[in-house]
Amino acid sequence: MDEIKQLVEAQREKLVALRRDFHRHPELAFQEQRTANIVEAQLRTAGLDEIRSGVGGYGVWGVLKGGKPGRTVLVRADIDGLPIEEQNEVDYRSENKGVMHACGHDGHTAIALTLAAILAERREEIPGIVKFAFQPAEELGAGAKPMLAAGILHEPEVDTVIGLHLWNNLQAGKLGICNGPIFAGADTVEITVKGKGGHGAQPHQTVDSLVVGAEIVVALQTLVSRECQPGETAIVTVGSFHAGSASNIISEEAKLALSVRSVKPETRQYLLRRIEEIAQGIAGAMRAKCEFSVRPGVPPVINDPTVADVLRRAALATLGADNVLDNFSTTVSDDMGYFLEAKPGCYFLMGSGNASGGQAFPHHHPRFDLDESCLAPAVEIMIRAIFELNQLEKIN
C-alpha cells in the first residue's frame, strides 16, 4: 500500500464518524450554523493558517500554506441539507425533523475536512497553497455567488478550483469525469395564462385558461424532440401546472412553472425564446393572454481539460482503469458552475450507490443514503490531484 493510501486509511474511521455526525444534524440552506461551527473548529484543530467564517452566510474559508513554492488550488465543498423527512432506519438518522442530508453534502463536508487535516499534517511537502471553501446554500443555487463576492478566489489568488459530488447513480468504487460540461445550467420559467372565468355550464361566455394551459404543456413537448439536435443537452420540464378550484367553475387563470436545462449558451437562448413564442402563440390563437418570465438559474459546470486530466490520472491511480468512466455527465445542476466560470477547474462524480447495500435511492429521496466506502478514495484522489495541480506549469 502506498503512502497516500496509508495516510487516508488512518483517517477512515474519523471520516465516517464525521459524515454521520453531519448526517444526524442536517441544516437547511442559509441556516447551517452548527455545521459551520464544526467546520471552523476542525480547521482550527488541523492548524490551518487562516480561517474566516460567516462568508456569504455560514460559509467558511480556510487557507493552508505549503512548505514549498507552487500554485494555489481551491477545494470547494457544499454543506447544506434539504427539506425532506428522512425515512431511513439507520442509527445516524436525521434528528432535525423535516430536514435531511439527501444529496450527500454531509459526505462532501467530511471529505474536505479530512483532506484539510491530512494535508495540514504534511504541509512541509506541499508545493503552493491549498484553500478550502465550505459553501452554504447549494440546494438553492444561492451560496456560491456570495462566497465569490466575498473574494474567496483572491488573497491569495486561486489558480484552479476542484470539487466533487457523490453520486448514487454510480456504483461506489467508480468515478465519472469529462472534459467540458459535466453538469447542466438550469433556468426557471413561469407562464401565467389569463383567460376569462365563468360558469362551468356556460363555457361560451368564458376563455378557459386551463385548456389553453394544457395546449401549451403538450406543445412544449415537441420543443426538445423536434427542434433540438439529437444528442444536444436540452430539457424542458413542466414541473407544475395550477388552474381551477371546482368542477363547475371555469378558471380565469392558469400558472405553469418550468425547469429548462442546457449546457450551450445558444441552446439556452433558443429554448427560452421558443418557449415564449409557443406560449404566446397558443394563448393568442385561443383568445387568452399570457405572461412570461424567466428566473435565471445556475450556469453549467464546465471542466477545463488540463485540470480534468490531472483528476483523471489521480482517479486512475486510486481506483484503477476499469473504474474511471470518461465522457460522463449529468443534466442535474450545481452552483459549482459559478466557481468554474471564474477559474479553470474540474468537478467530478464519485460513485456512492450500492443496490445490494441498500444505497440505491436517488438524490433528494427520503431514503437516500451513501455507501461510505466511497469517502476515503475521494480524499485520496484529491490529495494526488492537489500535489500535481500545485506544480502544473500551465493551466489553460
Residues contributing to the site for Zn ion (CB under 5 A) = 103
> Which residues make Cβ contacts (< 8 Å) with residue 118, sequence separation at least 6?
7, 8, 11, 379, 383
> Which residues make Cβ contacts (< 8 Å) with residue 84, sequence separation at least 6?
98, 99, 100, 102, 364, 365, 366
Place of cell 469529462: 178
Residue number with CB closer to Zn ion (66 or 185): 185
Pick the catalytic residue from 80, 187, 208, 380: 80
Q: What does the alpha-carbon distance between residue 24 and residue 353 come to, in Å, rounded to a whole number?
A: 20
Question: Smallest gap, in angstroms, from Cβ of residue 182 to Zn ion?
Answer: 13
Residue number with CB closer to Zn ion (103 or 223): 103
Pick the catalytic residue from 78, 138, 159, 252: 138
- Other beta carbons within 10 angstroms of residue 12's beta carbon come to 15
Closest residue to bound Zn ion by CB: 103
Q: Name the grid cell of 334.
A: 450545481
Whole-angstrom CA distances from 327 to 164, 229, 311, 319 are: 16, 19, 13, 17
Residue number with CB closer to Zn ion (169 or 391): 169
Q: Could you tell me how many residues make up the chain?
A: 396
Question: Smallest gap, in angstroms, from Cβ of residue 105 to Zn ion?
Answer: 6
Question: Smallest gap, in angstroms, from Cβ of residue 142 to Zn ion?
Answer: 13
Residue number with CB closer to Zn ion (313 or 363): 363
Residue number with CB closer to Zn ion (164 or 288): 164
91 is catalytic: no
Question: Smallest gap, in angstroms, from Cβ of residue 84 to Zn ion?
Answer: 10
27 is catalytic: no
Q: Name the grid cell of 323.
A: 473504474
DSSP type of residue 82: B
Residue number with CB closer to Zn ion (51 or 350): 350
> Which residues make Cβ contacts (< 8 Å) with residue 209, sequence separation at least 6?
193, 194, 195, 197, 243, 250, 251, 252, 253, 254, 288
Question: Smallest gap, in angstroms, from Cβ of residue 246 to Zn ion?
Answer: 37
DSSP type of residue 123: G
Question: Smallest gap, in angstroms, from Cβ of residue 30 to Zn ion?
Answer: 15
Annotated catalytic sites, by residue?
Answer: 80, 138
